[in-house]
Every structure is written in C-alpha cells, then in structure tokens.
Structure 1
Amino acid sequence: MGNRTPLYDTHVAMGGKIVDFGGWDMPLNYGSQMEEHHQVRRAAGMFDVSHMTVVDVCGTHAKPYLQYLLANDVAKLDGKPGKALYSGMLNHEGCVVDDLIAYNREGHFLREGHYRLVVNCATREKDLAWMREVGQDYDVEIDERPHLAMIAVQGPEAIARVTQVLPQYAEGIEQLSIFQAYEADDWFIGRTGYTGEDGLEIVLPGERAEALWKALAEAGVAPCGLGARDTLRLEAGMNLYGHEMDEQTSPLVANMGWTIAWVPEQRDFVGRQALTDQKAAGVQDKLVGLSMTARGVLRAGQRVRVSGSEREGVITSGSFSPTLGHSIALARAPIEVGEQCEVELRGKWVTVSVTKPAFVRNGKALI
C-alpha cells in the first residue's frame, strides 16, 4: 500500500482507477481519460494534487537563502504579496534537482520574509534534504506542511465554478492575476496550474478536502486523474521531472533558460558558475516539440535522428494529443535540428515535424 491523500476514499467511491504514482495511490482516471482531458479544455476539471510537497520558508535570512537556492530570483516578488515565480532548483553542476513554484506570503497576517514552495512528490526526500543542506549557513526555518491537501481546478470555467462553491472567497479570487495567490483563513488559493488552461490550485486543511471535492463535483467540475493531467501538460509543453529534466540535465537544454535570473550579476546562486561555463561553451542540445500526423504514437525513449548531426536525440515525453487528434512529443535533440527529423518507431525511421515545445494553450492549437 502506498501513501494516500485525504481524498483516497473519495476517489475509490467515485470509481477512480487507482495506480501507484511516486509511492502514492492515485487515480489514473474515472472511466474515460479522453473525456476528462476534453472537460478541462472545454469547461472545468479537477485533480487531487495533495501528493505535492508544500514547504514554508521563513526567517531572517529567508530571502537571501532562496536567492542562493533558486536559479530564478525571489527579489522579483518584493512588495507583491501573493505573487509567485517558477524556478529550477539546481545542483553545483548546473543541473536540475527539481522545479518548483515559490510564492511570496508577505501580507495577510505575515511579515516580510515568508515564502511558500510547492515541489514534486516523487522528489520529496531529496528536495527537502537539499534545501536543508543549502540552508545550514542561513537563519531560516524550512517546514514541510504534510497536513495540507491540494486540489487543482482547471479549465475556462474553473474560476466561475470555484467562486460558485466558495462565495466567501470570491472577491479575493476574482482579483487574482495569473501566478498570484490569495490567502484567507487557512486557505491558500493560487491562480496557477499544469494544464495550459486558466484555473486555480487550492491548498487547504486535509480534513476539509473531501467536502470541497464533492461540492465542486456537484457544481459540474469533472473529477480527473493522472492520465489526463499528463496529456494536458504535454500539449501545453510543460516539463515533467525525470523526463525533460533531471540531475544530469541543464536548464539550458530543457527549455528553462527563461527561468534563470542572470541579473544582478553579483547575485550568486547554486550552479551559476557551471551554467556560465555551459553558456560560454555553447549547448549541444535543445528541447523541441515533435508532431506526427501519420499513424502511430510517439513515446518517451524513442530515438531521434537529425540531419547534419552525428549525435542522436531522444523523445522525453510523447503521447496521442486528444485536442489535436494526432501524436505529439517533447524531445531533446541536437542543436542542428531543423524543421523535420526522424524518429525510430518499431524499427523504422519515420519523418516528423519539428515545432516549438508547446502545442495547445487556452484551448487553442499553437501548431
């Protein structure tokens, strides 16, 4: 038996197909993964993401600590209560320990120097160990919040459905900009997500999660599982740890260069020197999108061949796209890649189109 979120019994009662995911018993789907995917693109769906790791960071040195720990700069959040940023947390070799979202919790009842991080579940232990190792030289408190649950409500109707169910928080929610959170009582509601659609991620006490889940279902929000979550994030071109990035992969080749805050130059951060050296030497690979309208499905691990390069690439994530109606993938390819490349499918090399590493956003095709 794996770890279980406060919503486990609810998933079972609603017919969720339970699978192991990073040591957690989670729903893969509730019947039709395809229909769940379309519900998020067209209306609203919800996901139990309580397996994610929530970590609060505070203390005299909270800001300088996070400025050193993260490749992005939390100084961008100064004076912006609730504002969030996406960042890689790197090792000294300039590769990705994990990716995360950091929120500025200044305001509400908290003073300056309070932050909330949300990191992946499968990397929980190593993430916490790395945070604490880096934090040894700082006056900082690093506290995991395992008692909290987290529900993501995503889709063009998501905010309307949530405010219908939570009218007491409607005013605060409706004023949120993208990548900003609202706190009220012991609820933490961020306008963030992992689907390429607008929506909210709601952090709340675990004992209240079941009531919220059922109320949202009654309001027409479709329960969705891990299967739809993965096809949605792939269509949106969003990275998955262990696929597009890991401790051997630089953010410069994982389409994460935009998350690196090089300025101010005097700010040091873990991995900065290694990244500087990589940048000077020139990267040899980059993350691209692949699109294939022929029969067959692109899958992670398939080889990629690029004209003009002696080196091969590899598909990092691939699947059938329910929105586009054909197969898509993310691939780490040699820098020489052009508008087409070849992928090995069942022993044969098939020509596919190369695109930017994003396919669908806000329900609209980008390719």
Structure 2
Amino acid sequence: MGHKTAIYQQHLAMGAKVVDFGGWDMPLHYGSQKEEHHQVRQDAGMFDVSHMTVVDVKGNDARDYLRYLLANDVDRLKVEGKALYTGMLSQDGGVIDDLIVYRMGTPGSSGEWFRLVVNCGTREKDLRWMAEQAARYEVALTERPELAMIAIQGPNALAKTRSVVSESKGRVIDSLSVFQGLPVEGWFIARTGYTGEDGLEIMVPEDEAADFWQALADADVAPCGLGARDTLRLEAGMNLYGSDMDESVSPLAANMGWTIAWEPAERAFIGREALEHQRAQGLVLKQVGLVLEERGVLRGHQKVIVEGVGEGEITSGSFSPTLNLSIALARVPAATGDTAEVEIRGKRLPVKVIKPGFVRHGKKVYA
C-alpha cells in the first residue's frame, strides 16, 4: 500500500530507518529507539500511524449492528465522541481483531454514527468479516483511506500540540476526556493512545499531514518509530495483535475479559455462546506479565515453566528502557502463582509473575 507520500519524505529527511509493516513503509526509528522511548515517557513524541484503517459505520441499524458485531457494547458510550476498546470475535470466540470504536453525533439521535479504527495487518479480513455481518442490517461501511493519523504521546503531548493548532482545535483538545474524540475543522482529535501516557491520536486530511508533522517537530515533539512504540505499549501491558492474541485465542485468555459486556444478558453478540461455555468450564490459560530481575532478555516464544503446574509461552518480550530490566507478556496455566521460570538458551531463570502492566505515566506500577 505504500505510505502517505509527503510525510514519508519527511521521515526520510529526519533520518528514519524504514521497514515494511503490514504492506506499509514505516519508520522503525530515527537514530535511537531508546531515546525515542524516553522522550515519550518524559516529554512528548509523535508517531505516524497512518497505516491504521478507519471505517465509518452509518445507517438506521448502525447501533444494532455494532452491538452484535463487537464483544463490548456501544450503548456504554453515553457522550458524543466517547470511545471504547473491544474485540471483534469469531463465532468460536477467537479474536479477529482488537479495535477502538467512537460514538459520533448525539447518542440516540437520528444523526448518530460510529467510527472504528482497526489494525492495518488485519484490514482485508476485517473489512470482509464486517461486510458479511452487515448483510442483514441497514448499514453502510465506508473506509477512509484519505485520512492520515498522527499520534502525539507523553506528559507534554497535549500542551505542545495545542501550541501548534488553531484556537478552535485547541479548545477541543482542552475539552476532551480520556478516550473521547471530536471532529473540528476537518480533523478528528482523540485523546487515546498506545503508550501508557496521556496524549492524542489525530486524523487529518492526507494533504495536511506533512505540515502538521513539521509543526510538531518545530515545537520539539520528537519523531518516534515502531521500535519505541512496541516497547512503550509492552511496558503499558497492552496487547499486540498477532503476538498476544489472534483468531486462535480467546479474549478471556488474553487479558481482555474487561472488554466483554456481559450485561444486558439478552444482548447477542458474535462469540458470546463460546465465551459463556469457556467461563462455565473454567479458564485453562491466562495472560500475565513477567519481570526478569537478573541479566537476560525475555523474547516471544520462550518457554515459561511453572513448577508443579505446567508450561506456558511468552507472547511479547523485550528490554524495558524505563525499568532497565526485561519484561514480557505470557500465556500460562490458569493456576500459575506469583513466580515462574523462563528457559533462555538452555538455562532456567526465575521471573516474577504480575498482572499485565509495568509502567503508567512514566512510573513503575507493579509491586
């Protein structure tokens, strides 16, 4: 699919190392992944996330359609622009994708509609699945490839962004609650992110993206690549589709149970029956965080050994620049306690087992 041309030239001019990511040419880093990570934790960094797929859902049945399509319930969104995180599941309860959905317009009015942001790597199967499920609803699905998206993240992200936008855009930034997005002057500004820091994800017309990126750079917002994005989201305990969950994994085994709206009990959603059966049977596996406090690096697919219980596997692992040690997400037997071992190069090293989530707002959050 390539990239948004004008902004792509800026990435190259800023020294980006570019890699293929889901068919897009994406910056991996701009010289130092570690420095970019620290910029986001301590100040403000920006990511070109124009590869994300934006889909608008409109029509008389838009609400009913999404209440069936998604495991979370859009009726939880009581305020214009409010968003929620959810899984889009298969009939057997596997995760087709994880996404964000915004309720647009006045909730409950004839003018309400919804905006979804899904992953680029799953774009084709997502759109196909969504279209199949839409067949019995009066609903229109419109992909928005003309929109670029820039994420600005970090403790100074809102203030620095506000300094380079118009007065009305600044007022919208000031008005947003966390996990809310609103349109203004042809842009869509959302207070969401994937780093464990406060910040914004802003959709702009493609032909305005390069100028906005440059304005942010001039305001000392550091350009950041996929490498820092991955270590930041891992520190925050956030899943990466294809690593921490996929169609073979239940959201109940991927620390996504909180994204399932079980009430009202009469709401039928895709995968509900399978998930209720899993709950009744009892979970076999769960997702946890691992902390390695001695030398070594935790990596995906390393074996996790829980003495007397069984074995699991690391799904995402890396060195944490903020904590200065190695961390991971892992799927392990449900009976796992607060300790385990990881097999690294033939050696078994002890790890601390915690609830997923290592760093929030720049601070360690586990005991």
The equivalent residue for 1:164 is 163
- 1:185 deviation in Å? 2.1
Residues 206-225 of structure 1: matches in 2 within 5 Å? Answer: 206-225=206-225
Opposite residue 51 of structure 2, the aligned amino acid is H
- 1:107 deviation in Å? 4.3
- 1:113 deviation in Å? 3.2
The equivalent residue for 1:249 is 249
Provide structure 1 residue ranges, at least 5 long, that are not aligned to the other structure: none
Residues 91-130 of structure 1: matches in 2 within 5 Å? Answer: 91-107=90-106, 111-130=110-129
Opposite residue 287 of structure 1, the aligned amino acid is Q
The equivalent residue for 2:347 is 348
Q: Where do 4+ consecutive residues of structure 1 move more than 2 Å?
A: 110-113
Q: Secondary structure at the match of 1:314?
A: strand
Kept after mapping to 2: 8 A contact 1:66/1:74: yes
Residues 34-74 of structure 1 show CA distances to partners (whole Å, capped at 9, x for unaligned) of 00000000000000000000000000100000000000000
**Pair 1:178-2:201 in alignment:** no
The equivalent residue for 1:262 is 262
- 1:167 deviation in Å? 3.3
The equivalent residue for 2:143 is 144
Residues 141-164 of structure 1 show CA distances to partners (whole Å, capped at 9, x for unaligned) of 001000100000000000000100
Supply the distance in 1 between the matched residues of 2:149 and 2:138 (Cα, whole angstroms). Answer: 29
Q: Secondary structure at the match of 1:320?
A: strand
Residues 248-292 of structure 1 show CA distances to partners (whole Å, capped at 9, x for unaligned) of 000001000000000001100000000000000011111000001
Residues 308-327 of structure 1: matches in 2 within 5 Å? Answer: 308-310=308-310, 312-327=311-326
The equivalent residue for 1:76 is 76
Supply the distance in 2 between the matched residues of 1:296 and 1:180 (Cα, whole angstroms). Answer: 40
Q: For the structure 1 residues 139 and 214, does the alpha-carbon distance in structure 2 shift closer, same or farther, using more than 3 Å as the test? A: same
- 1:112 deviation in Å? 3.4
**Pair 1:63-2:57 in alignment:** no
Supply the distance in 2 between the matched residues of 1:354 and 1:272 (Cα, whole angstroms). Answer: 29
Supply the distance in 2 between the matched residues of 1:205 and 1:307 (Cα, whole angstroms). Answer: 54
- 1:244 deviation in Å? 1.0
Bigger drift between 28-37 and 160-169 goes to 160-169
Kept after mapping to 1: 8 A contact 2:56/2:141: yes
Q: Secondary structure at the match of 2:217?
A: helix
Root mean square deviation, CA, Å? 1.2
Kept after mapping to 2: 8 A contact 1:193/1:199: yes
- 1:94 deviation in Å? 0.6
TM-score normalised per structure 1:
0.97
Supply the distance in 1 between the matched residues of 2:175 and 2:23 (Cα, whole angstroms). Answer: 37
Q: How many correspondences in the alignment?
A: 363
Identity value in percent: 61
Q: Secondary structure at the match of 1:204?
A: strand
Residues 221-270 of structure 1 show CA distances to partners (whole Å, capped at 9, x for unaligned) of 00000000000000000000011110000000100000000000110000
Residues 161-202 of structure 1 show CA distances to partners (whole Å, capped at 9, x for unaligned) of 010001321111101100001211210000000000000000
Kept after mapping to 2: 8 A contact 1:291/1:354: yes
Q: Secondary structure at the match of 1:196?
A: coil
Kept after mapping to 2: 8 A contact 1:61/1:113: no
Q: Secondary structure at the match of 2:323?
A: coil
The equivalent residue for 1:87 is 86
